[in-house]
Amino acid sequence: MKLWQKGAVAHEKVDKFTVGKDREYDIVLAQYDCQASIAHAKMLAKIGLISIPESEQLCKVLEELKIAAETGNFTIEDEFEDMHSKIEHVLTKKLGDLGKKIHTARSRNDQVLVAMHLYLKKELGEIKTQVIALFDLLLELAEKYQNNLLPGYTHLQVAMPSSVGMWLSAYAENLIDDLYFWEAAYKIADQNPLGSAAGYGSAFPIDRELTTELLGFDQLKINSLAAQMSRGKLEKSTSIAFSSIGNSLAKLSMDICLYMGQDFNFISFPKNLTTGSSIMPHKKNPDLFELVRGKCNNLQALPNQLALLTSNLPSGYHRDLQLAKGPVIGAVQELKACMDILLFSLPQLEVTQNITDQKKYDYLFSVDTLNTEVIAGKPFRDAYRELGHTIEKGDFLPNRTINHSHLGSIGNLGLEKIRQKMERIK
C-alpha cells in the first residue's frame, strides 16, 4: 500500500530502491507519527472537518499504535512503503472510511518532518541528561584526584605539571561548550512544522497553533515553505551538536588509551573492563575507549555528510532528504551508547600514585624552578637563559615544591565556578 498510488504500480526494482531502509528507520519514528496524528485528529475535530466522536475513535486506535511502537510491537511489512501507509491502513481496517480521513490537510512531507522534530527533541533531551551526568562524574573524580600530579604535555613533549583533577575538570568544562551547540539544535527541533503539508499549506482552515500546543512545541514554524526547508537543517544542526560532544568524548578516550599504556602507566581500569590478546598473555587492551574514540570520530564526520547531501538543493521537498533520516537516527544511537559506556566505566578509574616523582619527569618542573628565581628578583629573561644552560650541561636539579594559586591552575581548579557555569545552561 502506497499513499500516493492512483492505479499504476511501480516496478519492484524501483520500489526497492526508493524505499531503501525507510521501514527500518520508521520503526523508530512510528510512535512520534502517531503522537502527531493524535494532535492532528483533535485539531480536525475542532475546525469541524470531522466530529468529536470520530476524533475520539481515531485517537483511541492511534494511542494503541503509539504504545505498540513504544514497546517494540509495531511492524511495517513489505507491502507498506512506510509508517504512514501502515498506520493509515490499520486505521482504515479498524474504522472503515473514517480511517481514510486522517490524511486530510496533511502530506507525508509534514508528517515525517513533525515526527523527526518530536523524535530529535526527545533524544536531544536524553542526551543532555547524559552529558550533565558525565559532567558531574568528571568533576567528582577531579575533586577526588585534584592533588595527584600528572605530567602535562605540549607537542607530546613533557611540559609542565598538571594533575588528574585538572585533566578531568578540563573535559567537564568542555562539555559546557558542547551544550551551547546542543542548545541551538534543540531550539530548531522545538518548532512545529505540522500543517505545512507539502510545503505550501492547504485550503483547509487548520489551526496550527493548536497542534503546536498539543504537541508541546515551544514555537510554530510559521511559513509553510520555511517548515519544509528546515528538513535537512534540523538534522544538520543536530549533527553539529553531536559532533561537538563527540569531539570531547573522542579526545578523552584517546587520553585514556595513551595513559593506560605501559610507557605512561598513569591510570588503569579493572580487568573486567579491558580485553586480552589471543597470543600475548600480558595484554590489557582499552577496547572500550578505542571504540568510543572511533565511533565519536565518525560522529564528527556527520555534519560534512549532511552538508554535502543538502548543499545544492533548491527550496521545496526533494527525495534526497530521505537520506538524512538514517545517519541521524544511527548517530543518536551511537552517541547514547558511547555516553552510557563512559558513565559505566569511568567511576572505576584507578590512578597511579606519585607519577611525577620519577626522574624522567625532572624537566616537568623547570618552569617552576625558573619562576622561583624570578620571584626572588632575577629578571625573567636572565633566569631563563641561565636555567637553559644548566639543563644543557646536565646539572639541573628540579624544585618539586610547586605553588600554583591562580584560578584555573592545578592549585585552584575552580570546580565550584565550573559547576556554576553549567547551572546557567541546565
Domain borders along the chain are 12-104, 117-205+223-356
Indicate if the pLDDT at residue 1 is higher than 80: no
**CA–CA gap between residue 411 and residue 402 (Å, rounded):** 9
- Long-range contacts, stretch 315-318, CB < 8 angstroms, 24+ apart: 315/199, 315/225, 315/228, 315/229, 316/199, 316/225, 316/228, 316/229, 317/109, 317/198, 317/199, 317/228, 317/231
Task: State the residue for C-alpha cell 521501514.
Answer: 23
Q: How far apart are the first and last CA of the chain?
A: 45
pLDDT per residue over 396-408, tens digit each?
Answer: 999 888 889 999 9
Lowest-confidence pick of 96-100, 201-205, 220-224, 322-326:
322-326
CB 302, CB 242: distance < 8 Å: yes
What kind and span of H or E run contains 407?
none
- Percent of the chain exceeding pLDDT 90 equals 84
pLDDT at residue 280, rounded to an integer: 82
Quick count: other Cβ atoms within 10 Å of Cβ 129?
11
Longest alpha-carbon distance in the chain: 94
Burial class of 376 by CB neighbour count within 10 A (0 to 12, 13 to 18, 19+):
exposed
- The rounded distance, in Å, linking the Cα atoms of 402 and 184 is 42
Give per-residue pLDDT as tens, 17-43: 766 677 889 999 999 999 999 999 999
3-state DSSP call for residue 424?
Answer: coil
| The CATH homologous superfamily of the domain defined by 117-205+223-356 | Fumarase/aspartase (Central domain) (1.20.200.10)
d(CA 270, CA 350): 8
What separation in angstroms does the CA of 268 have from each of 27, 213, 262, 296?
40, 51, 10, 22
> Which 3 state secondary structure label does DSSP give 278?
coil
Q: Write down the architecture of domain 12-104 according to CATH.
A: Orthogonal Bundle (1.10)
Mutual angle of helices 22-46 and 52-70, in 10-degree steps = 160
H-helix or E-strand spanning residue 163: strand 157-163
For the entire predicted model, the pTM comes to 0.93
406 vs 293: CA distance, rounded Å = 33
**pLDDT of 11:** 59
**Residue 199: which residues within 8 A CB-CB, separation 6 or more?**
107, 109, 224, 225, 227, 228, 229, 315, 316, 317
